[in-house]
Amino acid sequence: MALLEIDDIHVFYDKIEALKGVSIAVDEKQIVTLVGANGAGKTTTLRAISGILHPRAGEIRLGGESLADLPPHEIAGMGVVQVPEGRRIFARLTVDENLQMGAFSRNDRRAIAEDKERMLALFPRLKERLKQVAGTLSGGEQQMVATARALMARPRILLMDEPSMGLSPVMVEHVFETIRAINQQGVTILLVEQNALMALGIADFGYVMESGRIVLTGRGQDLLEDENVQRAYLG
């Protein structure tokens, strides 16, 4: 059984059906990527998983347990944590406070302090920025804050929505290295990306989305070599 199962969900914005029956399975310890053009419904899928949007039909399960009707913070408490599109760090809070918010539902002070140290080891650049207001950081640093903040919640599965968006090629490289490192530490990852080439490159499994539907699935490497995918997404 997969860790996260999305089973034929339909999600609406008022009368517009943004997801028309999407099914995705993410196995434990895998990196699964969801690629697709602008407006395909990738963000909508992640927002539905996090409980910000509620599917009108279909079900989302974590370890076999339904997440339906759970509020977002309880879903996060179960270990499904998101690095949202556009990062959405708390710009007026300090970096330290952003990390503290990631650990909001935890009470184990010592473990939280240890995790913070691990984050600073993973992103050494945040060390001297801890007391700085997060909105003053560069885009790459803000991505680090967003990722570290989510990891502070000790996720079982990390949902990442276009983490490389708007970053320099060097930072993009860094983001993908980080994703691999996080995954190697045992965190399952569902990665949404426009950068299909790099995403499929590190993914165990990939889904291609178009107009609210999954149109193609396969092992990351196979999709990279697929003619249709190459024509549509890899130029």
Residues found near ligand ATP in the complex (CB under 6 A)? 13, 16, 18, 36, 38-44, 85, 194
Check binding of 43 to Mg ion (CB under 5 A): yes
Rank residues 46 and 223 by Cβ distance to another protein and give the closer one. 46
Check binding of 90 to another protein (CB under 8 A): yes
Check binding of 30 to Mg ion (CB under 5 A): no
Q: Which does 91 bind (CB under 5 to 8 A by kind): Mg ion, another protein, ligand ATP, none?
A: another protein
**Region 48-87 residues binding another protein, contact defined as CB under 8 A:** 50-52, 71-73, 76-77, 81-82, 84
The pairing of beta strand 31-36 with beta strand 205-210? parallel
Work out how close the CB of 84 gets to another protein at its nearest, in angstroms, rounded to a whole number.
Answer: 6
Q: Are 39 and 46 in contact (CB under 8 A)?
A: no
Rank residues 15 and 231 by Cβ distance to ligand ATP and give the closer one. 15
Q: Are 223 and 207 in contact (CB under 8 A)?
A: no
Alpha carbons 94 and 96: distance in angstroms, whole number: 5
Q: Which does 39 bind (CB under 5 to 8 A by kind): ligand ATP, Mg ion, another protein, none?
A: ligand ATP
The SS3 call for residue 158 is strand
Alpha carbons 110 and 154: distance in angstroms, whole number: 14
- Residue 162's nearest CA partner among 120, 196, 209, 203 is 196
Work out how close the CB of 235 gets to ligand ATP at its nearest, in angstroms, rounded to a whole number.
Answer: 16
Work out how close the CB of 209 gets to ligand ATP at its nearest, in angstroms, rounded to a whole number.
Answer: 7
Work out how close the CB of 131 gets to ligand ATP at its nearest, in angstroms, rounded to a whole number.
Answer: 33
Alpha carbons 177 and 37: distance in angstroms, whole number: 24
- φ and ψ at residue 17, rounded to 5 degrees: -90, 105
Q: Are 157 and 185 in contact (CB under 8 A)?
A: no
Contact footprint for another protein (CB under 8 A): 50-52, 71-73, 76-77, 81-82, 84, 88-93, 97, 100-102, 104-105, 135, 149-150, 153
